[in-house]
Amino acid sequence: MPGPLSKDLRERVIEAVTTGTSRRQAAKRFGVSASAAIRWLATWHEERRVSPLAMGGDRRSSLDQHRKLLLALVAARADTTIEEMRTKLGAQGVVTSYGALWRFFAKEGMSFKKNGAGQRAGTVGRETGTRGLA
């Protein structure tokens, strides 16, 4: 997604319209869409603002307020799964996604890897073609 157009361009479009050019003519003259020119003028009339608003959104996790609980769940049982944590949080009225929990623990420097029982039984050896434990 491209970024917002420059403040200078917005000012030139607004100035052209305030001196008598129509919004659509100004848009065509400066190479912007008519809807952009219309929005810029509406913002100018309502708020006296030319600069664009900040892009992006809130990047804080909603799980930060449940940090103690989540870390306690892991401390109580190290092999707990993300889905088990979602279920326990859901029982307390906290609705969250698998991805949100994964990102929370990644931010905490924790990962959930397979243990010895969850790995493959062995690999095929290159030279002999026999199975061996990895």
Q: Is residue 38 part of a domain?
A: yes
- Structure confidence at residue 40 (pLDDT): 96
- The domain total for the chain is 2
User: What value does the mean pLDDT take over residues 78-96?
Assistant: 88
The residues pairing with 131 across neighbouring beta strands, listed in sequence order, are 124
pTM value > 0.75: no
User: How confident is the prediction for the chain on average, in pLDDT?
Assistant: 84
Tokens 């243990």 belong to residue: 115
Sorting pLDDT into bands at 50, 70 and 90, what band is 132? very low
- Identify the pLDDT of residue 62: 84
On the question of pLDDT at 124 being above 80, the answer is no
pLDDT at 72 over 50: yes
CA 85 – CA 43 distance, rounded (Å): 46
| 120 in any annotated domain | no
CA max distance for the chain: 86
Whole-angstrom distance, CA of residue 66 vs CA of residue 101: 11
Could you tell me if 68 and 99 lie in one domain?
yes
The whole domain housing 84 covers 64-111
Q: What is the pLDDT of residues 27-55, one digit of tens each?
A: 999 999 999 999 999 999 999 999 998 88
Residue 59 pLDDT level (bands cut at 50, 70, 90): confident
